[in-house]
Structure 1
Amino acid sequence: MTDLALSSLTDVILACELLFLAGLAFRTDVESGSPAWLWAIYLTVSGIATALGAIDHGFFEPIDHPGHGAMKFATRATLAVGAVILLLTSARQFLSSLWTRVVVAAGLVALAATLWVNWTSDDLLAVVAMNAVGMLLALVLHLFNLRTGRGSSMMCVGIVLSIAASSLVFSGGNGFFGLGLYGTMHVALMPAALALFLGGLKLRRTRSGEAPA
Structure 2
Amino acid sequence: MDQTREDEAVRAYLRLLQTKGAVSAALLRRSQFLEKLIVNLAGKELDGNEYRDAVEPLMETVPTDDWHDCLTAAREFYPFWKEDIKAIAALNINPGFDITPLQWKPLPTSLKLLMESLATEKFDASENWPLKAYAQALRQEGSEQSLVDTRVKLAKIILVRLKNAPVKNHKSYRTAVDLTLPLFNIKNNRRLFLVVVREFYHFWIGNPDASSMVLKDGSGNILL
**Shorter-chain TM-score tier:** under 0.3
TM-score normalised per structure 1: 0.27
- Normalised to the residue count of structure 2, the TM-score between the two structures is 0.26
Structure number with higher relative contact order (C-alpha < 8 Å, ≥ 6 residues apart): 1
Max Rg structure: 2
